Amino acid sequence: MSGAVKDIEEIVREHPFFEGLLEPFGKLISGCAKNVQFQPGEYLFHEGVAADQFYLIRQGCVALEIKAPGRGAITFQTVREDEVVGVEWLIPPYRWSYDARAVDFTRAIAMDGACLRGKCEADHDLGYEVMKRFMPVLIQRLQAAQMQILDVYGEQA
């Protein structure tokens, strides 16, 4: 069924990113959430712009890319359903360092960064739940980036 029928709290809870979240936290978080969708080719955000939202992808595919003169736009990561786009909302200066573009028709939950930061500051238990879920994302991204940097398939090691 489409998101218009389910309420936002149900949708947030269902997303694997927030699996296991306790009841009161679910309500708190949903206050910062809203349903969004993107057409193929539409940008979620651009490099340099304020990182005021992050996205839990429910359906579709988002390409993270960087523009380089002479090389056009280079995709360095694709993010799919059940995954998260956007970590820069976590730390100052809260600014995106790349572009994010929907490759396919994409449905997502947009989380208001400032709203969630405020609630985490006020309730440290909530803060820990959120950070605990972001850590694996960050570390896996870091490990993957390390592998990509090594250019292991290149001709010379």
Rg of the chain taking only CA atoms, in angstroms: 16
Which residues neighbour 152 within 8 Å (Cβ) at sequence distance 6 or greater?
Answer: none
Q: Which is nearer to other proteins, 20 or 41 (CB)?
A: 41
Phi, psi dihedral angles at 134 (to 5 degrees): -80, -30
- Contact call for residue 59 and other proteins (CB under 8 A): no
- Under rule CB under 8 A, how many of the chain's residues touch other proteins? 27
Min dist. Cβ of residue 73 to other proteins (A): 4
> Which residue's CB is nearer to other proteins, number 43 or number 128?
43
Site string for other proteins, 83-122 (x = CB under 8 A): ------------------x-x-------------------
The site map against other proteins for 117-156 (x = CB under 8 A) is -----------------------x--xx--xx-xxxxxxx
- Name which of 78 and 118 has its Cβ closer to other proteins: 78
Q: Which of 20, 69, 70, 72 binds other proteins (CB under 8 A)?
A: 72
* Interface with other proteins (CB under 8 A): 63-65, 71-78, 80, 101, 103, 140, 143-144, 147-148, 150-157
